[in-house]
Homo-oligomer: A and B are copies of this chain.
Amino acid sequence: MQNRVCELFNIEYPIIQAGMVWCSGWELASAVSEAGGLGIIGSGSMYPEVLEEHILKCKKATSRPFAVNVPLLYPDIEKLIEVIIRNHIEIVFTSAGNPRAWTTVLKEQDIKVAHVVSSLKFARKAEEAGVDAIVAEGFEAGGHNGREETTTFCLIPLVSDNVSVPVIAAGGIYGGRSMLAAFALGAEAVQVGSRFAVSQESSAHTDYKKRVVDAYEGETILTMKSLTPVRLLRNDFYEQIQAAEREGAPAEKLAEILGKRRAKKGIFEGDLVEGELEIGQVSASIKQIQPAGEIVREIWEEFQQFKAKLVEM
């Protein structure tokens, strides 16, 4: 396919695998890139030296373009950026923070920058900061999320009508049908999270992957709104947070319950009771653990099929 996003990242299909803590290391990123999509190493759960190791392994595994995702609130962000520049990474996706400071630094190194937003307001700020593309992520997406609760259906037209850089749709994208819907709404690419989080090459624990495959509709919820809103599967940990919120606990108390490494416990160590099981609403549609390359090919084929069907209509 030829469009602005494929040209920008030099990829075959406008299908991007989201950078996800404890899921997207070099195995997942290289598998997606090898299949013609854009794989992303998620550095949010990595020390700078671990990121470097993943970058080197990813380069060995594929000669195709891949990206690194950087959460801008990462405490040691200077070190992450230094690793990225030193290793000649060509594409960076930034999220969770203000893109102003780092976009310039990255662009000076000829790095392509995409930034993840949850509202038109932040999309405009990202464009002003000079990013090359915007990932517009709806309320249905897994993990950290915006306060406006704008859904993909409402967000994509709002953003694509008001910015000039290409828009990548995220949140609720499962297969070729939702990819086609995202394109109808004005997107030029899709970023898929949940389905790749439970792919074979994801670093997540098998128990977490199985739990996601078993998830039914309504089982994920956007919670911790008084801290940072996050979408996850309901479990004991979630109930503790809920109970505290019902009792009107202050943010500090909630932060204490959350503690540290909850996401690692849930996603990487497979603790389904006490862990933070981040995942999107589309988990209700995910029926199996598949190889990442197969997912890319399946989405692309479905996209073509549904497009042909829509034309005939």
Chain A contacts to B: CB under 8 angstroms: 3, 119-121, 138-140, 147-154, 157-158, 171-174, 177-178, 180-186, 217-218, 221-222, 246-248, 281-282, 284-285, 306-307, 310-311, 313
Q: Which of B152, B221, B248 contacts A151 (CB 8 A)?
A: B152
Asked whether, in the complex, the Cβ of A177 is within 8 Å of the Cβ of B186, the reply is yes
Query: What residues of B have a CB within 8 angstroms of the CB of A282 in the complex?
Result: 154
Cα-based distance from A236 to B309 in the complex (angstroms)? 48
Query: What residues of B have a CB within 8 angstroms of the CB of A148 in the complex?
Result: 217-218
| Extra contacts besides A138-B153, A149-B222 (18): CB < 8 Å | A3-B313, A147-B218, A148-B218, A149-B281, A150-B217, A150-B218, A151-B171, A151-B281, A153-B172, A177-B185, A178-B184, A181-B181, A181-B184, A183-B310, A184-B310, A307-B310, A307-B311, A311-B311
A181 to chain B, nearest CB (A): 4
Q: Which of B121, B149, B218, B306 contacts A119 (CB 8 A)?
A: B218
Asked whether, in the complex, the Cβ of B119 is within 8 Å of the Cβ of A154, the reply is no
Cα-based distance from A306 to B311 in the complex (angstroms)? 11
A160 to chain B, nearest CB (A): 9
A238 to chain B, nearest CB (A): 14
Asked whether, in the complex, the Cβ of A138 is within 8 Å of the Cβ of B121, the reply is no
> Nearest chain-B residue to A1 (Cβ)?
B313
